[in-house]
Chain A
């Protein structure tokens, strides 16, 4: 769709704003409505809009699938390890007050870090979802996959999965 001037202009204007707003929601999560989940979805929506306009190959050139996949795992790990840090520093799991000497700053730091993990994972998982569906359609059309009735339970009429 990159030949359509209106779409390209609007998207170029919107995508940076969407990502900026995503980051705003991300880093205001600890004292205003918002947080990692919403921010992640907003951020991924920017990327998805980009793919709509410029195509999947260009979108994957910016961020390869392996990187998205790794980020999805690393976000969860960031959450888990921040929690573990609380445990290792002598508090309980997910106890942020032991992270920094000032109690208020410690809570804020802990929540921001944990929410960053949430944001990274949600953004990459939403991108992976989109990727799966976008790929599947293209693959099915390219290969002309046979349509098998999944409700058919008769074994003789069916071949095992290769």
Chain B
């Protein structure tokens, strides 16, 4: 166990140290190889760490041997370990897959591109693992700045504008978070999460604490693209390079959601958070609005990447809906969907990436009849789409099932109807693509398209297979999500199953 504690910070440090080396390496293959090695190493450590904390233990690592709350510590329980596993796992599958697409989209200076990727990933992992609220802000900025650069690498000129919009919105979000953290520091003189949780009850009658909670929640809501603060997301996902879209869609918003849960449930405590502000009803209304607006906008899109981006807004709604139930079951549903949605969106965006690479277009009207020319790619898309809709036996079905049973447990049966309606809307936009690709004839003047090579298809099918595997064997996902929910709020809510 002691060795695991020593090893755990290297989930963040491996990509963080590999980043600058990557920027110095010449050519194409060397930076890519280093990036693959660093992510794979981080993935192995993250998997070992999750195995070590599933039983409810907490790993604590003080940087520079300065004891917390003065020094910065990493504090890992099942909740962070699960998110870290998702980030490193998705990166480990996507990086080997993405080499040809990166060659096509970023022809020059790939060392910088992979370095930014590693730093963005290290930032996300740092946010996930740290036990210090100011450290959260620092890593949030590290990952965000690297992400802006990565999005701007897109071949379309509009990628620059998308990156700039994200920069503005992201900076507003980060500033709100920082203001909230500053209020906490003024009130308590501490930045360590555990220490804050102990000190905050003493100042719970302060109006400033209410303001701090408000700033932090709104700042993070921008980062997690909660409706109606999602405006940066569709453009950023549409114009970013394929690898970045798939990676961000699977991880970035999830990390922001995790931080929000950590702060609301662990630092402030649910008893304070949901009494000081009408958080439960606000989050529920916004989540439902996001589910409907995101799904509806997804149906209207002509661009496949943009359609999936709006679908992400809707899916964030499901996660936040689980949170707004304020129960361990609801929190578990949020964590479960956080993980499963990462898997399904990675699979969907990766298969769309193959379409973009082979056919050169992601507009739905250009994809007529393409299913017969690229059967493996489009089948992968359709199967991952089933998971998004929530058809058994996929991971998406488990997500929705757990969310629905959490809603029923909370006595909110009417939510079940809304979840089913938005699932049908997901069916509409996925079916539209499948219908266009398989049932329409290929126009005579359309350019010939070939099926992708096996090394492009393999990782996508691996992700699709993971969607089905975690629909049948829920020990890791459901067990991990329940452990995560109990680590966050089991004691405070006291209704653990």
Contact surface of A with B, Cβ cutoff 8 Å:
69-70, 73-74, 76-77, 80-81, 83-84, 86-87, 91-97, 148, 150-151, 153, 158, 160-161
Contact = CB atoms under 8 A, between A and B. Distances in A.
B24 A70 contact: yes
Contacts of A73: 20-21, 23-24, 115
Given A73-B20, A84-B17, A161 B157 contact: yes
Given A93-B13, A94-B63, A97-B65, 8 more contacts: A73-B23, A80-B17, A91-B65, A93-B61, A95-B64, A95-B65, A150-B160, A161-B157
A92 B65 CA distance: 6
B62 interface: yes
Interface string B156-172: 11101100000000000
B155 interface: yes
Interface residues of B, number: 22
Contacts of B17: 77, 80-81, 84
Nearest to B62: A92
Contacts of B9: 93
Nearest to B64: A94
Contacts of A69: 23
A34 to B, nearest CB: 20
B16 interface: yes
Contacts of A80: 13, 16-17, 20
Nearest to A94: B64
Nearest to A161: B157
Contacts of B6: 87
A161 B157 CA distance: 6
Contacts of B16: 80
Interface string B1-41: 00000100100010011011101100000000000000000
A96 B157 contact: no
Across the A-B interface, give the 7 residue pairs with the lowest CB-CB distance, nearest first: A94-B64, A73-B20, A95-B65, A76-B20, A80-B17, A92-B65, A161-B157
Contacts of A153: 158
Contacts of A91: 65
A69 B20 CA distance: 11
A94 B12 CA distance: 14
Contact of B64 (A84, A93, A160, A161): A93
Contacts of B21: 73, 77
Contacts of A84: 13, 17
18 contacts: A69-B23, A73-B23, A74-B24, A77-B17, A80-B13, A81-B17, A84-B17, A92-B61, A93-B13, A93-B64, A94-B64, A96-B64, A97-B65, A148-B157, A150-B160, A150-B161, A160-B157, A161-B157
B11 to A, nearest CB: 12
Contact of B161 (A76, A94, A151): A151
A119 to B, nearest CB: 15
Contacts of A93: 9, 13, 61, 63-64
A130 to B, nearest CB: 18
A104 to B, nearest CB: 15
Contact of B155 (A70, A74, A76, A160): A160
Contacts of B20: 73-74, 76-77, 80
Nearest to B61: A92
Contacts of A76: 19-20
A87 B13 CA distance: 11
Contacts of A158: 157
Contacts of A160: 155-157
Contacts of B24: 70, 73-74
Contact of B63 (A70, A74, A92, A148): A92
A16 B161 CA distance: 42
B64 A86 contact: yes
A68 to B, nearest CB: 13
B155 A161 contact: yes
B158 A92 contact: no
Contacts of B155: 160-161
A156 to B, nearest CB: 13
Contacts of A150: 157-158, 160-161
A93 B64 CA distance: 6
Q: Which of A83, A86, A91 has the most CB of B within 10 A?
A: A83
Interface in B133-187: 155-158, 160-161
A90 to B, nearest CB: 10
Interface in B282-308: none
A158 B155 CA distance: 13
A86 B6 CA distance: 12
Interface string B56-99: 00000111110000000000000000000000000000000000
B284 to A, nearest CB: 34
Interface in B85-127: 115
Contacts of A148: 157
A86 B71 CA distance: 16
Contacts of A83: 13
Contacts of B160: 150
Contacts of A95: 64-65
A84 B6 CA distance: 12
Nearest to A150: B161
Nearest to A107: B64
Contacts of A151: 161
A153 B61 CA distance: 49
Contacts of B63: 92-94
Contacts of B13: 80, 83-84, 93
Contacts of B158: 150, 153
A84 B181 CA distance: 29
A36 B16 CA distance: 20
A147 B367 CA distance: 33
Nearest to B112: A69
Nearest to B158: A153
A87 B160 CA distance: 40
A127 B105 CA distance: 28
A95 B158 CA distance: 45
